[in-house]
Structure 1
Amino acid sequence: MKLSEGVEWGLHCVSVLAELPPGATLPTKALAQYHGLSETYLAKHLQALTNARIIESLPGPKGGYRLQRSPEEITVLEVVEAIDGREPLFRCTEIRQQGPLAQEPQAYRRPCGIHVVMAQAEKAWRDALREQTIADLVAHYQHDVAVKQQQRSTQWVTERMRRA
């Protein structure tokens, strides 16, 4: 399984937005600079997050992005699905029914064992991501990152945020 880099970008951006004070926003340019990313490419992912109602975009000179809901209400899975979609990670094409040893269709009444195992694994993965919220990610950051670095980050964001 390979997730797009946009998932990482989206999770980081949503985590930064989660720490903004009420009423504040960050423009695309600031989010891109903060993470050293292409503003144009990041904008596509921010639009996907907006369409999924995870973040909202406010227009105008004081505009930018902010969370649409509290960090406790946004799951990691929502961000993953907003960026990469909800399609199953594994697609069974029933190759067991092809080739020189294929049997009659009625011999394949039971689901393919490989399909069953992959579906169970995907369900477990999605369930784990559904249990983790953006608030959990922020808490990990606050626990794992040195206070001095957190202060530098807060100062950098504060200098670039906009208040509506």
Structure 2
Amino acid sequence: MQMGEGVEWALHSCLNLAWAEHQAVTARKLAAFYDLPPAYLNRQLQALARAGIVASTSGPRGGFRLARAPEEITLLDVVVAIEGGREAFRCQQIMRDGPGGRSDVDYRRHCLVSQAMSRAELAWRRELAAQTLADIRDSVEEKHPDAPRMARNRLAQPAR
């Protein structure tokens, strides 16, 4: 399974917003943090806003901030906001056209390949749902105690 780069960008942006201490940060500043294209990152941020993960404020002091506490935002929330909620594996029921296949059977329920893939995806989604932005934030701060201060300083700089 391969996710688009927007997921990584969105997760890092949410982490930086967690350290921004409820201050609105522009997409341009968030993009400059990692030298990302602002227009593309803005699309990811808009997807996060539609999902209720970030809030957007317009105007001279506008930008993005977390809409919920980091403890209430799971990694799965961000992945689904960016990638959508579709299943990674979609059984096309090709067994219908194979030897002994029948058109009246729902092979999504009977195919062992489909069942194995569904179990794997469920485990993946459970793992992402079990980790919050706060968990990642806390782990980063434990390994790199200066990270919040450095992020706030970098976000306070004028965008390029």
Give TM-score, length-normalised by structure 1. 0.88
Cα pair distance change 1:86/1:108, threshold 3 Å = closer
Q: What is the match of residue 16 of structure 1? A: 16
Q: What is the match of residue 90 of structure 2? A: 91
Structure 2 counterparts to residues 14-93 of structure 1, below 5 A? 14-22=14-22, 24-93=23-92
% same residue: 37
- Of residues 128, 149, 152 in structure 1, which corresponds to 2:150? 152
Partner of 1:53, secondary structure, is coil
Report the Cα offset of residue 140 of structure 1.
1.6
How far apart, CA to CA, are the structure 2 residues paired with 1:51 and 1:150? 26
Compute the RMSD of aligned alpha carbons: 2.0
Q: What is the match of residue 120 of structure 2? A: 121
Amino acid at match of 2:54: I
Q: Are 2:93 and 1:105 equivalent residues in the alignment?
A: no
Give TM-score, length-normalised by structure 2. 0.90
Report the Cα offset of residue 92 of structure 1.
0.5
Counting matched residue pairs gives 158
Report the Cα offset of residue 108 of structure 1.
6.5
- Do the aligned residues in 2 keep the contact of 1:26 with 1:160 (CA within 8 Å)? no
Q: What is the match of residue 6 of structure 1? A: 6
Residues 63-108 of structure 1, C-alpha deviations (whole Å, 9 max, x = no match): 1100001000111100000000000000001112214x24333577
* Structure 2, unaligned runs of 5 or more: none
How far apart, CA to CA, are the structure 2 residues paired with 1:70 and 1:44? 22
How far apart, CA to CA, are the structure 1 residues paired with 2:106 and 2:16? 50
How far apart, CA to CA, are the structure 2 residues paired with 1:89 and 1:73? 24
Report the Cα offset of residue 36 of structure 1.
1.0
